[in-house]
Structure 1
Amino acid sequence: MVRELGEELGIDETAIELGVQLAKRSADHLVGGREVRQVERYFLARVSLDDVNPARATQPDNIREHRWWTEDELRSTRDTVYPQGLADLVAAVARGRTPAGRSGLPADEPGLRPRENPLGRPRLAL
């Protein structure tokens, strides 16, 4: 994950605060005439605006542009955005809810479950 951020967006790996897995999805499709299963995992990663520099990318993968999105823009865009429900994930993280775990999330379906905080009071975790 960290390596790919450097390769595709030119972000120095020391500038990345990598968090927990937020979602996972898989899809079957043809590559070179053979059916393959692609598994995508989505992680919370915090970087500053200044750390993103596509000019430093070593493998830009035809990325034509990058930008920061607001929650409202994610909710109102007509563009296809993955994972499904990304705006809800962003909103939950912004409110301090964290994902329940790094694995086992259903495809395109992050789940909420109760989690204990250090004070012993239940809170919701995404």
Structure 2
Amino acid sequence: MSTLGPILIADDEPLLTEMLEFRLRSKGFETIIAHDGREALTKFAEAGPSAVVLDAMMPVHDGMEVLRRIRASEAGTSVPIIMLSARRNEDDIVRALEAGASDYIVKPFLPEELVVRLRRLLVGRA
């Protein structure tokens, strides 16, 4: 996976970001961490990640706002974005997918499932 750019993990739960960082790095991905929406947007602009794993509920800007802003940017139109959220109702999932999320995973989740979905979205991008 070394020809890909880093994966941006945006979540305000330190234990979750630590676990995802460990899991993704063990599978050969580079990672960047953001703990709120503003930091996620800044790091997205600076790093040009290959994909984003985005929590729906974060401080400063929530995940939906970050998703909208990334999709509105020239660099963010085709970057895979997986929403990761405790929100499991149909309206939240549909709204995220309509706003441009590439996939939606409900917490609690299986870390290996996230890796498989991420790889699937990145096929052909290396």
The structure having more radius of gyration, on CA atoms, is 1
TM value normalised by structure 1: 0.29
The structure in which a higher percent of residues are helix is: 2
